[in-house]
Amino acid sequence: MCMQFKMIITVAAFKGGVGKSTTALHLATYLQSMADTLLVDGDLNRSALDWSNRGCLPFKVTDEKQGINLVKLYEHIVIDTPARPDPNELKTIAQGCDLLVIPTTPDAIALAATLQMVEAIKQFKTNYRILLTLIPPNPNKAGEEARTALLKAEIPLFQSGIRRLAVFQRAALEGVPVNVVKDPYAKIAWRCYTEVGKEICNNSK
Ligand SMILES: Nc1ncnc2c1ncn2[C@@H]1O[C@H](COP(=O)(O)OP(=O)(O)OP(=O)(O)O)[C@@H](O)[C@H]1O
Ligand SMILES: [Mg+2]
């Protein structure tokens, strides 16, 4: 059984649009299948709350204010955060979780922002891992190249990555996680996040 004890996972990145909310939402979906999970939407844009208002999510979503009262009632907590956190927010993010997941797309601009973030959180001794997201399909090699560069820099990285699949956008529109979308790619898309979930569980044992 995965994760016997309570775990707080925060998803954060310096750059916008790299899949933070999508990642937070699907990790919460994965964890909910094991124990009651709360998704705290710490983004003023309220992506996760909007997502849940549009459709139906299998776990509870709340804002930061309500989250404070609810946290003790849930086994696992996933926190979604806004892009470009200021230094104070970054300190709270880096110190307030058991695992910090940093999604990054495999392009040079996002990777540079990711390296900056890794540098900025070093002082907090945070347990963090990079997650490659929106990986373009073959023959594009951007995903593999980014992986090689990150590993060479000895930056902790999830072995699994998240492919760029339109079904993720459909899921957001429908207000559901990708595993319940009726689409031939739904299974492949969901597997990307279950693999990440398994890695998190195996490392927390
Ligand atoms: N793996 C993916 N494949 C295809 N589209 C994706 C994928 N992940 C996210 N998206 C889409 O990319 C856009 C940005 O994703 P998301 O909102 O999760 O990023 P974000 O980092 O939370 O953005 P923001 O900084 O604005 O909060 C959304 O339209 C989302 O549906
Ligand atoms: Mg977001």
pLDDT digits (tens, 9 = 90+) for 82-115: 999 999 999 999 999 999 999 999 999 999 999 9
> How many Å lie between the centroid of ligand 1 and the Cα of residue 94?
22
- Give the three-state DSSP class for 194: helix
Protein residues within 5 Å, CB atom, of ion ligand 2: 20-21, 47
Domain residue ranges of the chain, discontinuous segments joined by +: 7-199
Say what the pTM is. Answer: 0.97
The reply to whether ligand 1 has any atom less than 6 angstroms from the CB of 62 is no
Domain 7-199 sits in CATH 3.40.50.970: no
Q: Are 93 and 10 in contact (CB under 8 A)?
A: yes
The reply to whether ligand 1 has any atom less than 6 angstroms from the CB of 15 is no
Atom number in ligand 1 closest to CA 15:
25
| Residue 133 dihedral angles phi and psi, to the nearest 5° | -125, 165
pLDDT at 6 over 90: no
Per-residue pLDDT reduced to its tens digit, 61-88:
999 999 889 999 999 999 999 999 999 9
